[in-house]
């Protein structure tokens, strides 16, 4: 339902309208809304219509917009929907439709804090088996709270940024001493990232029911992970340098509003969770596709995730920790039960013991020059697709 020509099967139909930050030539970066193969350059369209806050779109990040809160997000979405649906807006909008292949997409928001959860039961069980083969795969806390750790906000990078192979300390169980050098077990993690808009006050938890007041929307995340560094360093405080060197996110932030017809009930939680984690719990019904050097290797399903995004936010603030505009928290690796639904290569290759065939070559972990692209889309109850676009990155050799 739009006067704009759309290619078949575009991720960015007229009811999606995700926001991102683009650079056109040597012009200042500013905010656009994706539609089909184009984006709408929002600042000039808003100025011409004398919308309050048109300066908001003349910004190198979405942060000021994210800080406005849900009533303003909703009003902006109504305005955008009208721009693309109502033919009367053609003259105002058409001159500001920019082909997406003519722009560079930048990091969409300045990342405040970054948290990485661990919300897939299948992934947590698989990693437990691989990292701790002699113990129960799920630790005793796992079904009582969404396990997470604080990551490194400053190394969240835009899709398309090259990933330099990290170096660090490794010590395989068979080694007698640790050594320093380039990671030999460089991996991906397919995740969904949640972008906080409205901040909360220090000392005041954000309850499960207040999720929609704070949460703006989602991005695709690839949480690059050096498994050899991680396995040696993580005890007892958790991942550190094995994951802090880079985390890639997709350029288009899809609003919660656009996903509302794609929410499904959370799978049953057993044992029952503590009262502060209870509520009307839902997951977006998102499917990812993972391409390794162009070849499809996995299709992780989000709907089976054990912990809901509202529970993650409630848990991370239950001690009174405040959230800020631009906070990003990732779901944790999304893995389904089928082998071709695993969201990391350590799982797909079962610790490197069962290589995956990629374009006819046997592969376990990432080699220099490899490129990984994750795409994703939500499916609505009436079968429409709301695309999340893609996040991509290529491995370059370790620094000498």
Active-site residues, by number, are: 123
What are the angstrom distances between the C-alpha of 380 and each of 24, 82, 261? Answer: 33, 21, 5
Per DSSP, the three-state class of 308 is coil
Please pick, from the candidates 15, 41, 116, 304, the single residue that binds Ca ion as defined by CB under 5 A.
116
Torsion angle, alpha carbons of 81, 85, 89, 91, to 10 = 120
The smaller minimum CB distance to ligand LGMQ2O6W, of residues 325 and 364, is found at: 364
Instruction: Tell me the residue nearest to ligand LGMQ2O6W as measured from the CB.
Output: 332
The smaller minimum CB distance to Mg ion, of residues 247 and 308, is found at: 247
Sorted by sequence, the CB contacts under 8 Å of residue 176 that are 6+ apart come out as none
Angle at Cα 76 formed by Cα 33 and Cα 52, nearest 5°? 110
Q: Is residue 121 within 8 Å of residue 307, measured between CB atoms?
A: no
The smaller minimum CB distance to ligand LGMQ2O6W, of residues 148 and 217, is found at: 148
CA distance 204 to 385: 37
Q: Which two tokens stand for residue 137?
A: 């795969």
The smaller minimum CB distance to Mg ion, of residues 165 and 214, is found at: 165
Per DSSP, the three-state class of 29 is coil
Q: Judged by CB under 5 A, does residue 189 bind Ca ion?
A: yes
Q: How far is the CB of 332 from ligand LGMQ2O6W (least distance, A)?
A: 3
**For Mg ion, what does the binding mask look like between residues 196 and 235, x meaning CB under 5 A?**
---------------------------x------------
Please pick, from the candidates 126, 200, 247, 335, the single residue that binds Mg ion as defined by CB under 5 A.
247
Q: Which two tokens stand for residue 344?
A: 């990391």
Please pick, from the candidates 15, 223, 327, 390, the single residue that binds Ca ion as defined by CB under 5 A.
223
CA distance 41 to 252: 14
Q: Which does 247 bind (CB under 5 to 8 A by kind): Mg ion, Ca ion, ligand LGMQ2O6W, none?
A: Mg ion
Q: How far is the CB of 137 from Ca ion (least distance, A)?
A: 17
The smaller minimum CB distance to Mg ion, of residues 243 and 363, is found at: 243
Which DSSP helix (H) or strand (E) runs through 215?
A: strand 215-222
Angle at Cα 299 formed by Cα 297 and Cα 302, nearest 5°? 150
Please pick, from the candidates 38, 143, 170, 243, the single residue that binds Mg ion as defined by CB under 5 A.
243
Q: Judged by CB under 5 A, does residue 41 bind Ca ion?
A: no
Q: Is residue 326 within 8 Å of residue 156, measured between CB atoms?
A: no
Q: Which does 131 bind (CB under 5 to 8 A by kind): ligand LGMQ2O6W, Ca ion, Mg ion, none?
A: ligand LGMQ2O6W
The smaller minimum CB distance to ligand LGMQ2O6W, of residues 263 and 346, is found at: 346
- Site residues, ligand LGMQ2O6W (CB under 6 A): 116, 118, 123, 127-128, 131, 189, 191, 223, 225, 234, 239, 332-333
CA distance 394 to 331: 23
**Closest to 89 (Cα-Cα) out of 160, 173, 172, 3:** 3
Instruction: Tell me the residue nearest to Ca ion as measured from the CB.
Output: 223
CA distance 93 to 39: 10
The smaller minimum CB distance to ligand LGMQ2O6W, of residues 57 and 232, is found at: 232
Q: How far is the CB of 132 from ligand LGMQ2O6W (least distance, A)?
A: 7
Q: How far is the CB of 349 from ligand LGMQ2O6W (least distance, A)?
A: 15
Whether omega before 15 lies within 30 degrees of 0, making that bond cis, reads: no
Q: How far is the CB of 333 from Ca ion (least distance, A)?
A: 6
**Closest to 214 (Cα-Cα) out of 107, 112, 88, 87:** 112
Q: Please, how many CA atoms are within 13 Å of residue 153, restricted to the half-sphere of its CB?
A: 14
Q: Please, how many CA atoms are within 13 Å of residue 360, restricted to the half-sphere of its CB?
A: 0
Q: How far is the CB of 185 from ligand LGMQ2O6W (least distance, A)?
A: 12
Strands 114-117 and 148-150: antiparallel
Q: How far is the CB of 166 from Mg ion (least distance, A)?
A: 10
- The residues binding Mg ion (CB under 5 A) are 223, 243, 247
- The residues binding Ca ion (CB under 5 A) are 116, 189, 223
């Amino acid at each position: 339902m739009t006067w704009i020509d759309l290619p078949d099967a575009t991720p960015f139909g007229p009811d999606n309208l995700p926001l991102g930050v683009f650079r056109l030539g040597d012009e200042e970066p500013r905010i656009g809304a994706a539609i089909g193969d184009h984006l709408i350059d929002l600042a000039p369209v808003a100025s011409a219509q004398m919308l309050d806050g048109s300066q908001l779109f003349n910004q190198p990040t979405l942060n000021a917009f994210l800080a406005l809160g849900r009533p303003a997000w909703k009003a902006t979405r109504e305005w955008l929907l009208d721009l693309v649906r109502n033919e009367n807006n053609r003259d105002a909008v058409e001159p500001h439709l920019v082909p997406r292949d003519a722009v560079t997409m930048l990091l969409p928001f300045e990342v405040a804090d970054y948290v990485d959860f661990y919300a897939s039961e299948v992934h947590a069980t698989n990693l437990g088996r691989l990292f701790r083969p002699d113990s129960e795969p799920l630790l005793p806390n796992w079904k009582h709270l969404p396990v997470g750790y604080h990551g490194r906000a400053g190394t969240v990078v835009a899709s398309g940024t090259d990933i330099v192979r990290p170096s660090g300390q490794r010590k395989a169980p068979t080694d007698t001493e640790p050594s320093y050098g380039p990671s030999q077990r460089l991996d991906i993690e397919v995740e969904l990232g949640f972008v906080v808009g409205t901040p909360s006050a220090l000392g005041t938890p954000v309850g499960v029911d207040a999720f929609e007041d704070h949460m703006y929307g989602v991005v695709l995340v690839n949480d690059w992970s050096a498994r050899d560094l991680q396995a040696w360093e993580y005890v007892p405080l958790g991942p550190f340098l094995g994951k802090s060197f880079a985390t890639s996110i997709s350029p288009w932030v899809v609003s919660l509003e656009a996903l509302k017809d794609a929410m499904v009930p959370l799978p049953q939680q057993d044992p029952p969770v503590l009262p502060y984690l209870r509520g009307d719990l839902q997951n977006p019904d998102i499917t990812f596709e993972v391409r390794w050097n162009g070849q499809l290797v996995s299709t992780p399903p989000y709907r089976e995730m054990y912990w809901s995004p509202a529970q993650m936010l409630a848990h991370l603030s239950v001690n009174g920790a405040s959230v800020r505009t631009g906070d990003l928290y990732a779901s944790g690796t999304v893995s389904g039960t089928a082998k071709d639904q695993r969201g990391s290569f350590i799982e797909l290759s079962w610790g490197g013991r069962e290589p995956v065939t990629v374009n006819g070559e046997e592969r376990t972990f990432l080699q220099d020059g490899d490129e990984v692209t994750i795409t994703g889309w939500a499916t609505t109850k009436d079968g429409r697709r709301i695309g999340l676009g893609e996040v991509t990155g290529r491995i370059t050799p370790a620094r000498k």
